[in-house]
């Protein structure tokens, strides 16, 4: 004969369903927000770097155009380079209007030497007003190029 069961009929252990992938845990939200912020910062820095490099290339191209246009005309070259440097100094509005010696002092103070007051840069003051100027044009071009690169590196130039 069949004997009645001794107790209630029990089922085996019932496991819950595995957790879903949505919504993610708070740690994943924090990681996603941090990643988005870092990507935004990186894109902003990249944009600023590309804009700065474009600006530097544009300024150096303008210098090359000034030199190429006045290569055979020393007074014109001195005038063009002086005008170029004044445009480079437009960020400091009063400096672009400095006369003579004060202009050379400003350039030397920003350039970190005395090549404008005591060197070949001195011709920027009086050579544009002479019919025939005699100076070392390649040295003047090199000086202006060095000054321009230093000004661009310091971020002080916005021509």
Place of tokens 């007003």: 129
| CA proximity to 137, closest of 79, 84, 97 | 79
Q: What is the pLDDT of residue 159?
A: 44
Give the least confident one: 20-34, 89-103, 111-125. Answer: 89-103
Place of tokens 């000004």: 151
Mapped onto helix, strand or coil, the DSSP state of residue 129 is helix
Q: What is the pLDDT of residue 104?
A: 92
> pLDDT, tens digit, for every residue of 54-100?
999 999 999 999 999 998 888 899 999 999 999 998 877 788 788 88
CA angle 137, 141, 143 (to 5 degrees): 115
The count of other CB atoms within 10 Å of the CB of residue 43 is 10
Q: Give one DSSP letter per residue of 19-88, joined into a string.
A: PPSSSPPHHHHHHHHHHHHHHHHHHHHHHHHHHHHHHHHHHHHHHHHHHHHTTT-HHHHHHHHHHHHHHH
């Amino acid at each position: 004969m069949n004997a009645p069961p001794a107790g209630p009929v029990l089922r085996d252990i019932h496991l819950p369903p595995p957790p879903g992938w949505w919504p993610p845990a708070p740690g994943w939200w924090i990681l996603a927000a941090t990643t988005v912020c870092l990507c935004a910062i990186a894109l902003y820095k990249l944009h600023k770097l590309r804009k700065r490099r474009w600006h530097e290339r544009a300024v150096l191209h303008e210098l090359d155009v000034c030199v190429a246009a006045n290569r055979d005309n020393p007074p014109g070259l001195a005038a063009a380079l002086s005008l170029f440097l004044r445009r480079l100094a437009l960020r400091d509005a009063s400096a672009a209007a400095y006369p003579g010696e004060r202009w050379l002092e400003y350039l030397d103070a920003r350039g970190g030497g005395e090549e404008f007051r005591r060197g070949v840069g001195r011709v920027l003051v009086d050579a544009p007003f002479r019919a025939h100027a005699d100076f070392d044009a390649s040295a003047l071009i090199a000086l202006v190029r060095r000054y321009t690169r230093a000004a661009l590196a310091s971020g002080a130039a916005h021509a």
